[in-house]
Amino acid sequence: MSPRIAPVLQTKRLLLRPWRADDAPRPGQERDEISERFMPANAQPGPAMPWDQWFARRQRLTDSGEIVCWCIADAGTDEPLGDILLFGFDENIRGNAELGYWLHTNARGHGYVDEAVEEVVRWAFEQGGVTRLHAGTDTDNIASQNVLRRAGFRQWGNDRANWTRMDGTASDGTFFELLVSDDRDAQRAVPPPTLQTDRVWLRPFCTRDGERMTQVQADPITRLWFNSEPRTVAFNRERAAQRSLIDRERWGIWWAICAPGSDELAGGIGIQNIENGEAEIGYWMHPDARGQGLMTAALREITRWAFAEGGFRHLAVQVADGNAASVRVALGADYRPVGAWHQREVLGDGRVVDLLAFDRVP
């Protein structure tokens, strides 16, 4: 036996300590649909692996040095909240390890995993002899991806049908890595700044925007100009959670647009296709919020922020020929017409039209 000894670690609200025989899931801590869908088999105690077996297996893997694991416990009450572990040590290359975690259903939504990941990453790099951490998630598991992004992990890829659900079926996987040499603070995903003028309020997206996003997508005018189909509310809640963090390499920087004094989603605006300080701005408005000058105000403010604080040097807006309201928005925010691509845009009704280009520089 050559166990890896996990030290007891303490954070503001948590105690990371060894699992104990009396930590069996309490009432209200049964495995739920999210665990069934997103966790590999045997990762969490449940019907297929009852607590006693799970605990014995963890003891065995700890003794053989295959894993280092902690019970995430409430620092005040010592009650178990979830699990965090390192495994796959030295796979492919020395210093490599994989990070895994789960929270009981009744412990989610408090940022506990962020706090535990922070401490375990610190320990792994400073004391655990680890130089490269990686983690994988189901591609649909946005909550977990956001944990990794906030911790400074970088997404390196997606693999199709490479993730095994608890029931043994395959789904797509999304994979992250973090090196000890990375500038972790610079890599941490953060929400876009909240921006406010007397005409408009711009805030990060959040899951409750999913319902209004779905209504926007069902609107015939949106479907015409974006040539798109409506998605489900569940999909859009996840999408909103994902867009709540900046990712300049993927979706860019997105804001939820609200009328001053209201928190209700009126529309969305994003800086996307970012490269070399250049980007394209896209936007859409809920039908019940159009025609109040909100989008023009939003585009003006995003443009101001992008040049003053976002580090951009060129911004473009592209509008399908015929979309008069959108052209008014671009011109209203002082974008300049620069020409048109012929027959470049396919509309929702199958027509192919010119794509008008507008741009601005600082």
Ligand X SMILES: CC(C)(COP(=O)(O)OP(=O)(O)OC[C@H]1O[C@@H](n2cnc3c(N)ncnc32)[C@H](O)[C@@H]1OP(=O)(O)O)[C@@H](O)C(=O)NCCC(=O)NCCS
Site of interaction with ligand X (CB under 6 A): 221-222, 225, 283-285, 290-296, 319, 323-326, 328-329, 332
Q: Hey, which residues does 71 pair with through a beta bridge?
A: 17, 83
Rounded to the nearest whole angstrom, what is the least distance from the CB of residue 193 to ligand X in the complex? 21
Closer of 245 and 357 to ligand X (Cβ): 357
Q: Kindly tell me which of 112 and 284 has the beta carbon lying closer to ligand X.
A: 284
State the Cα torsion 58-61-63-65 to the nearest 10°.
Answer: -130
- Tell me the closest approach of the beta carbon of residue 299 to ligand X, in angstroms: 8
d(Cα 178, Cα 175) in Å, to the nearest integer? 11
Rounded to a whole number, what is the distance in angstroms from the first to the last CA of the chain? Answer: 64
Least Cα distance to 307 among 340, 271, 349, 332 occurs for: 271
Q: How far apart are CA 76 and CA 15, in angstroms?
A: 8
Question: By C-beta, is 123 or 284 nearer to ligand X?
Answer: 284
Question: In the complex with ligand X, which residue's Cβ is closer, 54 or 283?
Answer: 283
φ, ψ of residue 48 to 5 degrees: the values are -75, -25
Please report, as a single letter, which amino acid is at residue 248: R
Phi, psi (rounded to 5 degrees) for 208: -70, -10
Residue 216 Cβ vs ligand X, minimum distance, rounded to whole Å: 7
Nearest to 266 by CA among 244, 253, 241, 283: 283
Q: For the CB of residue 25, give the shortest distance to ligand X in the complex, in Å.
A: 47
Q: Minimum distance between the CB of residue 295 and ligand X, rounded to whole angstroms? A: 3
C-beta closer to ligand X: residue 97 or 294: 294
CB 81 within 8 A of CB 74: yes
HEC string of 224-264? Answer: HHHCCCCCCHHHHHHHHHHHCCCECCCCEEEEEEECCCCCC
CB of 315 to ligand X, least distance (A): 13
Give 221 or 233: the residue with its C-beta nearer to ligand X: 221
Minimum Å gap between C-beta 212 and ligand X is 12
Checking phi first, is residue 220 left (phi over 0); if not, alpha (psi -120 to 50) or beta? alpha
Residue (40 or 291) nearer to ligand X, CB? 291
Min CB(276)–ligand X separation in Å: 22
Contact, 266 vs 294, CB < 8 A?
yes
Closest CB 349 distance from ligand X, rounded Å = 14
Identity of the residue, 34 or 325, whose beta carbon is nearer to ligand X in the bound complex = 325
Q: Which pair of tokens denotes residue 277?
A: 């300080």
Backbone torsion region of residue 13, taken as left when φ is above 0, otherwise alpha when ψ lies between -120 and 50, otherwise beta: alpha
Give the residue with the Cβ less far from ligand X, 29 or 214.
Answer: 214
